[in-house]
Structure 1
Amino acid sequence: MIFIAEKENKSNLNRVCDLLLGFVDLFSLMLIFLPMYPKPVNGHIYSVNLFGYVDGNAFIIRIIWALFIGLTITGIVKILMVYFKFEKDKKAVTFISVGLSIIAVLFLTMTREPYAITVTFLLLLIKGVLLYKQAKAGR
């Protein structure tokens, strides 16, 4: 009887961690809408959101958009997988999510966007803690 309850608790903890991982990916929307990017105007630098960000290099901006949209889609897929109890490719989606987060941190570091790097790194750190808790519960 205790074994069944313990197994159910681990299953619930795994579902909660998966759900939280999906929401962490959705928080990447914050990187689109919050003013974290520089925009020089008449010798002054203002903070703008990603819509108003003009770097001069459209290729870099497209990559940033692709990363954040990819993370958002991954979060939506993860939440839907938890909701519909679809366990088959959950590890693959988690792998894609962590990979996109790492690429986003590295790419933003290369483009020298300090505020966006900080938020993206903190989101990656939260993912790492959730994955650690999930792995610890799986034992």
Structure 2
Amino acid sequence: MSEHEEITKLRAEHKEISDRAEALAADLAVLRQERASLRAELAATREERDKMRLALLDAELVLSAGGAEAAGFDVTGDQTPERQRLFEAERRAAEMARELDATHRTVSWRVTAPLRAVRKKMDRP
């Protein structure tokens, strides 16, 4: 093979590699746009999920309060300010009770229970 043929062959290979690199760069640009779109969709989906979780928690609180009527809700959606404050107070109380229950179920709470019992007995006159 002559030097001219080798140069021609190398130029053809270089052209082919350049074409592949351009195609890959174009594919990469498309994939980056798709990734950005998917990230935006994921963010919107997470936001919707969070809203649904809050709505579910509100519904659970209403049920734990004894239903919509017992919680001060009118079925039409109207609330008096007094009933709304009552519902909010009941919701906070239920939330705090759940947090306290979760604290009592922790390992550290169970492990330190004997220490609290001794301390309680020592504080008595």
TM-score tier (shorter): 0.3 to 0.5
Higher relative contact order (CA 8 A, sep 6+): 1
Larger % of strand: which?
1
Instruction: Flag the structure with larger Rg.
Output: 2
Larger % of helix: which?
2
